[in-house]
Amino acid sequence: MPKHADLKTGPGHVAIIMDGNGRWAQQRNRPRLFGHHAGARRVREIVAACPDLGVKYLTIFAFSTENWKRTQTEVAGLMSLFRKYIEREAKALLKNGVRVRFIGDRIRLDVKLVRLMDELELLTADNDLVHLTIAINYGGRDEVTRAAKRLAYEVEMGRLTHNDVDAETLSRFLDTRVLPDPDLVIRTSGEARISNFLLWQSAYSEYEFVDTLWPDFTAVEFARVLSSYGRRERRFGAVLA
């Protein structure tokens, strides 16, 4: 496994938009779900690579609030894949020191899937080597809307006043409130858009758009992207001397 050239300058939190599973399958004359299964196997490799590459937090975009627009067959297949992934990977994630969290609105998800998600979060709660966050039925606008509703309720109940409402306060109501903001956001497959992913949290993140389809995104390429990040100068709106 290649190691990051300089862990001190590498990103501690990487978020990935895992794009290209369907096209990868179509290139092989296979159904789209074949690509999603290949993509799930790639997740295992990237998670395993994180400790050697200095990545403490990894957040992956598994299913967006807009993905319900896909065919019923594909959506059902993805939900089944999520259940199987949790059942298959739970023991390995626990053993390898990975803490798992899920973000997104769970109301629309299957009851069995939600139960498995809850159980995996509880099972891995004491792990601290890698923090893996999986976004399912997640959308950045939806997250901020839900946070604003919870914040408005606190004001309505008198526990906060309108003068208490600022960016820091709103952040405490987001799904990611216990996580640091991502240092680097990667999107695979050559598409150069953020697709409603971590809109609030990525305000000052660096972005890397790579042409590789997600099932072909190896740990070697992951290490290369991280090395590229280490050569960037992050200013956060300031002018550095």
Of 19, 142, 175, 183, which is the active-site residue? 19
Kindly report the number of other CB atoms within 10 A of residue 44's CB atom. Answer: 15
Of 52, 67, 127, 181, which is the active-site residue? 67
| Residue 121 φ/ψ region, left for φ over 0, alpha for ψ in the -120 to 50 degree band, beta for the rest | alpha
Catalytic-residue membership of 105: no
CB under 8 Å to 152, separation ≥6 — which residues? none
From CA 62, how far away is CA 71, in angstroms rounded? 16
Cβ atoms 97, 129 nearer than 8 A = yes
Secondary structure class of 175 (helix, strand, coil): coil
From CA 228, how far away is CA 214, in angstroms rounded? 19
Catalytic-residue membership of 164: no
H or E segment and range at residue 140: helix 140-156
Secondary structure class of 94 (helix, strand, coil): helix
- Residue 156's alpha-carbon distances to 151, 159, 166, 171, 227, in angstroms, are 9, 8, 16, 18, 48
Task: Tell me which residues are annotated as active site.
Answer: 19, 67
